[in-house]
Every structure is written in C-alpha cells, then in structure tokens.
Structure 1
Amino acid sequence: MSDLPDAFYLPAGADRYEPTRATESPWDSGSQHGGPPTALLAHAIDATAGPGLRLARISVDFLGPIPRREVRIEVSPVKPGRLVSLSEARMVVDGRTAVTARAWHIATGPPPPVTGERIAPPAPPETVTSPEPAPELEGWGYGEAVEWRFSEGGHGTPGLARVWTRVRVPLVAGEDMTGLARTLVVADSANGLSAVLPFHEWLSIPPSMTTTLLRVPEGEWVHMDCRTHLAPDGIGLAQATLCDSEGHLGEVAQPLLVRER
C-alpha cells in the first residue's frame, strides 16, 4: 500500500479545498469518488446549522464526473427553522457545479418513552479477519484511504456485502474527523460493494445518493450491510443499512443506471 496523504482535502483559502489522492475514483485517476465530496458538503452544511439541530438526512446529486482539482463550496439556506431546517450546498469545480446536496436538520429533544425495534450491532470489527489488501485496491487512492473488513462478500465478489469500514485519514487536513464525515465518506460505496454484475462488463452508475441518519455515529468504525436489486428495464437500486458498535445508525439508497459496456 502506498503512502497515504494527510487528508482527503487540503484547505486552499476561504471555502476552497484541494482534493488529494485519497479522493481518487476507481474509474479515472483525475476524478473523485462520490464519498469524500458528499462528506465535505455535509461538513460545510453542518457548520451553518443552528444550536440543537442535528443532520438527519442528506441527498446528494452528482451532475457528472467530479474533477480532482480545486473545489469551491457554496452553502445557502432553503428553509430556515427552529425545529426543522433545510440547506443546500454546491461543489463548484472550474466554474461548474459538479455536485449538489440538500440536508435536513431536525431539532433534538427529550427522549421518547419507546425507541422502536432495535437492530443489534454486528460482531465487532476485531472479530473479523482483515484479509490482505485486494489487488484491485492497490494504487487506488480512495480504496487505500479506507480500511475494509468483510464478514461477507468482498471487493470483486458479486452480491451481498457486509463490511466494517474505518477511514484512515481526516476529511480536511488540520481538522478532527467527525462521526458524520466518517459515515458519509463510505456511504456512497454501497453500490460498488454489492454490485451483482461484473464491473468489467457492466456499468452501474448512481447519479444520486440519500443517507438518513438515526443518530450521531460513535467511534471509528462504521458497518455497512449492502445489497443491490436490478429491474428488468436497466434501472437498479443499491441499499445499505448502517451500524456502529452501538447498533443501528441509518440507511443509504442509490438509484442506478445499469448498462452493458
């Protein structure tokens, strides 16, 4: 495994960031994987949230390949509010909006008398044998920037995947990694982890990704239970249930364009 950069992004001035090799897409070394941009947009939106509000859902739209060049982040309110608030962020590269995100923040309050059905946490990552790095991860920045511990499936293995993930570098150099960023860096990997068709023969492109979070993630590890479903007309759906060591965190959904290469 090659040396890792200091972070996914280096600060480059007001609202500007330089993406490092850790953001590198598996398809094009000059483009970014969708996970780090998602986390950076959520990080920027979260910084504008009022007191007592917590990010509950983020929906991200990828408007094309995301160049691995300096980005500018713009954040604007859509629906300010004391109990619920909707904000929008844009990642601009070379004067073009490459990614947009909308996030709902919801006010926290006193605990309810019941919490609903509880999803037990998976077996802890320490009990999962960490295999040698898969050959397809070597030299791929994003793949190397995350530690993957599979209890089912694996890189290059079609179908259901269950995996503990741990992000190896901070989101932004010089800043602490938050649980929110740690989760969103990996959430957009659901379709790649659970693809049911071979990558070298089929395209499986998610133009959008939505993550809904039940609570603030705890600890360094995030577990993803991923699966992909395909319709007979070339559209698919990738989903993932997110957990940490305490149990259920949230859900991921990605619509897919599925085409033979």
Structure 2
Amino acid sequence: MQASFTPDGGLLVPTATAASPWSDEMVNGHHIGGLVAWGVQRDEPDPELQLSRMTVDMVRAVPMRPLRVETRPGREGRRLRVLDVSVLDGDVEVIRGSALLLRRSEHPDAEPWAPEPWDVPPPEQIEGPSGGPMPWEIRRITGWGEAGPGKVWMRETAEFVAGEPLTPMLRAALMADFTNPLANSGTGGLAFINVDVTMYLTRDPRGEWIGLESAGHLGADGIGFGTTWMYDVEGRIGHCVAAALPDPRIQARHAAR
C-alpha cells in the first residue's frame, strides 16, 4: 500500500491512503495524531526522552492538501520537555498539539493499584482480514455492538511518510484516535465524533500490534468522553481519552447501511 504522505521540501503531501472514509477531501482522523507525533520525533533528538503525553486538538477539518508541521519549544528542563505542535494548511492552523517528554530513569519499587492485566488472545490467534482499503489491519477481540468493553488489536500496514520507518511512537500515536469509535460507541453504534484525543505512554510499544480496550464512556447534555487502555503484546503501555460531540451525520450513515 502507498505511504500515507510523501515529503515535498518542508511539506507533507497526503496520498489517497490518508483520505477519510467520510470524505475524499479530508485527511482521516487516524492520521492526525500521527502528524503531531511525526513532528515531535523529527524535532526532538534526545533518545532518552520518552513521549509521555500527546494532546491533539482538531481545530478544523484537515484537507487533502500539502501540510506543514511546525514545532515550538515550551518548557525545556533537565527531566522534562514540552513541545507545541501546529499542522498548517498554508497559513491556516488545522491541528494544534502538544507533547510532554520525560527522561527515563530507574523505576521505584512502589506498586500503586492498577487494574488486572489484560488477558486476551494474541493477535496471531484471532482471525481477521489480511488487509483492506485502510492503512491498518484490525483483529476484533470483541464484536462491534457487544455489551461490555470493546477490545481490538490493530497494526499499521503502510508507511506514514514515504521512505521513513514506522517508529514505535508513531505506531502508538496513529491508533490513539480509535479511542472514539471503541469507547464512545454503544449497542446502537457510534453517535459521537471526537474533537480531540490525548494519549499517555509509560513506554514505547514493542512490536507492530497495538491493543485497545475501552475503559468506559461518560456523557451528559450532548457532551461525552471515552477512555481506553493501550497495550502491546507484552502488556499495558498507556491510556487514551477522547472528548466528543453527537453527530447526526454518523447516525444517518449507520441507519442507511
């Protein structure tokens, strides 16, 4: 499959692989976290800093036009750094992001409470399609619309930027947006569109597969958010949250199917 973006000087040019299933003129929400993470890894050279938090605000729909990714230092300390990220269509900011990077060190012996470990089959033991029109492969651990927490394995199957390797940080960032359909869906399908996503990581994923498990949805007065746990094949690595608003267009599409 073609890479999602091709470099052109200081710009990233989206290919058909990056197009949204909702509109051929918009970049898929799946790629939005990837654009922010790509800017962070390009401009933060210290390998001892771990991307600990990435927040993405979806300011506008991202057009299928050449995009420029800019970063600005926020706070620069010995143990932490903050980068602000903008993705621009010409002079118009379409994505606003920020990244908190923490320096790795010896971990303390303290054991705060945490949920029970994820106990699911590995992706290789789950039947699923080998590919499709989207640049990722998905193995459903639970079916769509089932009661209870949704669980999936996913992996990216296309290069993000042509000629560049898919780094572990990028693999995680690309999957963060799936928090919305996984955690903000009910037995009647998805009724929400997310307006942001925040991902927390304690470490980079190991291997190609990223697991997501819904940790719940909360909503009132047309405002909701959903949360997920994030995994690799060795265990839990992070947490994602997406704020969302109801979107009648999504419900109409589901009803038409």
**TM-score normalised to structure 2 length:** 0.87
Secondary structure in structure 2 of the residue aligned to 1:75: strand
Partner of 1:100: 96
Give the alignment partner of residue 137 of structure 2, picking from 143, 147, 150. 147
Structure 1 position 167 matched with structure 2 position 156 = yes
Give the alignment partner of residue 41 of structure 1, picking from 28, 33, 36. 36
Whether the aligned pair in 2 keeps the contact of 1:22 and 1:145 (CA below 8 Å) is: yes
Partner of 2:254: none
Whether the aligned pair in 2 keeps the contact of 1:76 and 1:89 (CA below 8 Å) is: yes
Secondary structure in structure 2 of the residue aligned to 1:188: helix
Structure-2 separation of matches of 1:69 and 1:229: 34
Identical-residue share of aligned pairs (%): 27
Secondary structure in structure 2 of the residue aligned to 1:237: strand
Partner of 2:18: 23
Deviations 1:64-117 (A, max 9, x none): 111011100111101111111111111001321000110000011123234554
Whether the aligned pair in 1 keeps the contact of 2:120 and 2:141 (CA below 8 Å) is: no
Whether the aligned pair in 2 keeps the contact of 1:147 and 1:168 (CA below 8 Å) is: yes
Give the alignment partner of residue 182 of structure 1, picking from 158, 167, 171. 171
Q: Which range moved further: 90-99 or 106-115?
A: 106-115
Go from structure 1 to structure 2 and tell me whether the alpha carbon gap of 1:211 and 1:25 turns closer, same or farther (over 3 Å shift): same
RMSD: 2.1
Partner of 2:122: 124
Whether the aligned pair in 2 keeps the contact of 1:130 and 1:148 (CA below 8 Å) is: yes
Q: Which ranges of structure 1 fall in alignment gaps of 5 or more residues?
A: none
1:226 Cα offset (Å): 2.5
1:36 Cα offset (Å): 1.4
Q: How many corresponding residue pairs?
A: 243
Q: Which ranges of structure 2 fall in alignment gaps of 5 or more residues?
A: 250-257
Structure 1 position 219 matched with structure 2 position 181 = no
Deviations 1:165-215 (A, max 9, x none): 01001111111111111111111012123422445xx4x121111000011
Secondary structure in structure 2 of the residue aligned to 1:189: helix
Deviations 1:13-52 (A, max 9, x none): 12x1011122211211110122212112212113332532
